[in-house]
Structures are given as C-alpha cells and as structure tokens.
Amino acid sequence: MADYILNAWYVAACSHEVGAEALFARRLLDRPVVLYRTEAGDPVALLDRCPHRFAYLSKGRRIGDQIECIYHGLRFGPDGACTRSPYQKTPPARAIVETFPVVERHRMLWIWMGDPALADPALIPDHSHMDNDAERPLVWHVKFDGNWQLGNDNLMELTHLFWLHTSTIGGWKEDAGQTPGEKYTARVENGKVLSRTLNTDVRRPSTFFNGVANGVPYDSWNDTEWVAPANMKFTMGAVPTGTGHIVETPYMVQSHCITPETATSSHYFSGFSRIFQLEGGPEVDERFVAFFKGIFDREDGPMMADIQEQMGDADLLDLDPVILPRDSGAILVRRVVAQRLAEETAQVTARVA
Ligand code: FES
Ligand SMILES: [Fe+2]
C-alpha cells in the first residue's frame, strides 16, 4: 500500500514552521527530509541522511548555509555537495546528499520528490487566496494515523459533517439523511476533480458570517477543486435565496493539502482566508486555528485511525466497500489517483526494459 505519486508537488511544511536558524526534520513519502533556510531566506530540502554512516543531518550544526554532520563532521552545502571532510584535502566524490526542489508559495513550502527534471513550479496548485493579507490567511499542520488517500476520501465527501461533526460545524440538520433541495455534482476536468454542493433556502444561522444578514433564508454552495495527489480548495459562498447562485466574493476559501508521512500516517496542512472577524488580530486568528485543529484532532483524526486499523495493509477499494451516491467525488479522485500511479509505474517499467 506504500503507493505514492512521486512526480508531483507536495506541501512539506507551512512557511512559518521553517525558521531562519533551525534544521527542521520531517518524514515525507517515507523518506527523511531536512528543511532549512539559507541566510538569504531561501528554503532548502535535503535527504536527512549523511552518506557516511547515515546520521540524521537535522541533528547536525548549521555553519552559515551549510550543515555539518554531528557524527564525524562532514559538511554539506545547500546543493548537497560535500564541501569539507576533516580527514582529507578533497572531500570524497561520492559524499553527496540528495536534494529536492522546493518552492515557497501560498504560505507553504512545496517539495518535489520525483524526477527533478520534471519539477515545474507552474504545476503547484493554485491556493493564491492564501496570499491576500487583507483576508488574514491562516495555515497550520496536523497529522493523522491513516493512509494519505483516506484524507482525500474524508475531504471529498462532506456529508459526514452532519454525523461526525454534530457538536461543532455540522449539527444543523435534524435528519442528515434528508437533504431536500440539496444538489451535488462531481466531474473530472483536465485531471482535476471538481464538485459543487448547493443548498437552497437554508433557514438557520451559518456557522460563520457568510455575507447574508441573520434571519434571511439563503442559498449556499461549496465548490471543491481537487488537484492530484491530495490538494483541495473549498470555495464557500452564500446569497439571499432567489438572488442567483454565484457571487464574486466567497465568504471563506479553504486549503486542504495532504502529504504522506508513511503508508499509514499522513501530514495534513490546512488553511483558510475569510471576510469575517477580520478585526481582533492574532488572538482571533489563534482561536480559529484552535477551533479547526480541535475538530480534526477529536473527530476526523480518530475516525481515520479507526478506518486504517480496519483496513490493515489493504487498499480501501480492494475491500469492496459499499458506495453511496454522495461518494461520487471521492470515487472519481480514487480513479484519477489510480491512473496516475499506473502511469508512473508504466514509465519506470519502460525505463528498466
Ligand atoms: S555519519 Fe556523518 S560524517 Fe559520519
Ligand atoms: Fe471532517
């Protein structure tokens, strides 16, 4: 089950997690990676393994833009080349650390762990709503004990809000099974999965201020754009009922990006920009982050751990699960992922043959 799409950009860290000084260690796609910034502030990503005796380089020392291994003192530059061996005039030619292309964008550090020749920054998914300071974009990191594809399943199917999240963001339907007027569509377009959930004539206050005055019935929608392997953007908007379905300004845009840690554990980078409660400064922001983190840690995270435990080493679809109508977006995602994995396997096979 340790299947990863390699030729893709993944979020390695939130920008704020990798400071000016420290060496930041994180396991990504089951490989140890050390991230840091040069003195100029540019992010660097290296395999976190000294080529001598395999010490973690992240436990070493920063010497300017270089890392000195804590075990026997080999020194490496941001390009992975050994710049100094205490034991020889010339460092051994084979003492090279693998490097990974890394790009800072949308308040996140994106890493490419496949063929570096294919690492085109234009392929980084668009989360540009995170660039607009006026909408106080926030991004944070949590983890869950489950395969990365469970993250896609969870986020591409939001009916669970009305069951799993009844005490927080989803408790407003008396009978969650009854969704009169709710329309859901999902389709594949240029390798992306696009879904729309439309609720008309909603008569309950929104969890957050959605741009419509309290007490006024409204139509709300959530457009989800999924980009392989596991990047999702939710665009959420509302208008008074009967005034048309799309406005230029959503009240909230969310980013959800999953990166495998191992076959059975994942990093989850989540964030959003908003048009409400913009005053109040960092305290309000921290409350929002704690609110969303709490929901995930108490509700989604344990659910994914349970599912992983039930699945063991198998793939979900191999276990022949029941498919419900609202699973269509998640199933389309699984199909595109399977296709991408098969393409990469075919390329490797062709190269070897
Ligand atoms: S393990 Fe790094 S120098 Fe020996
Ligand atoms: Fe959830």
Nearest CA to ligand 1 atom 3: 72
Q: Nearest bound ligand to CA 160? A: 2
Residue 259 to residue 193: CA distance in whole angstroms: 18
Nearest CA to ligand 1 atom 4: 72
- Least Cα distance to 236 among 268, 269, 195 occurs for 195
**CB-CB neighbours of 111 under 10 Å:** 24
Whether residues 77 and 164 share a domain: the answer is no
The CATH number linked to 53 is: 2.102.10.10
The kind and range of the H/E element at 343 are: helix 328-352
Whether residues 98 and 151 share a domain: the answer is no
Assigned domain for 136 exists: yes
Query: Which of 48, 56, 71, 94 for mutating ligand 1's site (highest number of atoms within 8 Å of CB)?
Result: 71
Assigned domain for 1 exists: no
Q: At what angle are helices 148-155 and 301-311 packed, to 10 degrees?
A: 120
Q: How far is the centre of ligand 1, averaged over its atoms, from the C-alpha of 95 (Å)?
A: 10
pTM attached to this predicted model = 0.95
Torsion angle, alpha carbons of 285, 291, 292, 296, to 10: 150
Q: How far is the centre of ligand 1, averaged over its atoms, from the C-alpha of 273 (Å)?
A: 44
Assigned domain for 6 exists: no
- DSSP per residue, 183-251: EEEEEEETTEEEEEEEEEEE-S--SS--SS-TTS-EEEEEEEEEETTTEEEEEEEEEETTS-S--S--S
Assigned domain for 304 exists: yes
Residue 112 to residue 99: CA distance in whole angstroms: 10
Peptide bond into 229 cis (omega under 30): yes
Last residue of a domain, one of 67, 83, 108: 108
Question: How many structural domains does the chain have?
Answer: 2
Residue 272 structure tokens:
């959003």
Whether residues 132 and 204 share a domain: the answer is yes
Q: Is 74 in the pocket of ligand 1 (CB under 6 A)?
A: yes
Residue 195 structure tokens:
């879904």
Q: Is 160 in the pocket of ligand 1 (CB under 6 A)?
A: no
Q: Count of alpha carbons within 13 Å of 51, Cβ hemisphere only?
A: 17
Whether residues 100 and 129 share a domain: the answer is no
Query: Which of ligand 1's atoms lies nearest the C-alpha of 74?
Result: 3
Whether residues 318 and 238 share a domain: the answer is yes
Whether residues 179 and 280 share a domain: the answer is yes
Sequence-distant (6+) residues with CB within 8 A of 46 are 33, 34, 57, 67, 76, 78, 80, 97, 98, 99, 100
Whether residues 190 and 315 share a domain: the answer is yes
- DSSP per residue, 91-141: --TT-B--B--EEEETTEEEEE-S-GGG--GGGS---GGGG-GGG--EEEE
Is the torsion defined by CA of 233, 239, 242, 246 positive or negative? negative
Last residue of a domain, one of 57, 82, 108: 108
- On whether the CB atoms of residues 182 and 158 are closer than 8 A, the answer is no
Whether residues 24 and 146 share a domain: the answer is no
Whether residues 101 and 220 share a domain: the answer is no
Assigned domain for 72 exists: yes
Whole domain around residue 166: which residue ranges? 125-344
Whether residues 170 and 305 share a domain: the answer is yes
Mind listing the pLDDT tens digit of every residue in the chain (353 residues)?
A: 459 999 999 999 999 999 999 999 999 999 999 999 999 999 999 999 999 999 999 999 999 999 999 999 999 999 999 999 999 999 999 999 999 999 999 999 999 999 999 999 999 999 999 999 999 999 999 999 999 999 999 999 988 888 888 877 776 666 555 555 678 999 999 999 999 998 888 888 888 899 999 889 999 899 999 999 999 999 999 999 988 766 777 999 999 999 999 999 999 999 999 999 999 889 999 999 999 999 999 999 999 999 999 999 999 999 999 999 889 999 999 999 999 999 998 887 787 77
Whether residues 298 and 154 share a domain: the answer is yes
Whether residues 138 and 63 share a domain: the answer is no
280 class by beta-carbon count within 10 Å (0-12 exposed, 13-18 middle, 19+ buried): exposed
Sequence-distant (6+) residues with CB within 8 A of 109 are 11, 12, 13, 14, 15, 18, 35, 43, 45, 102, 103
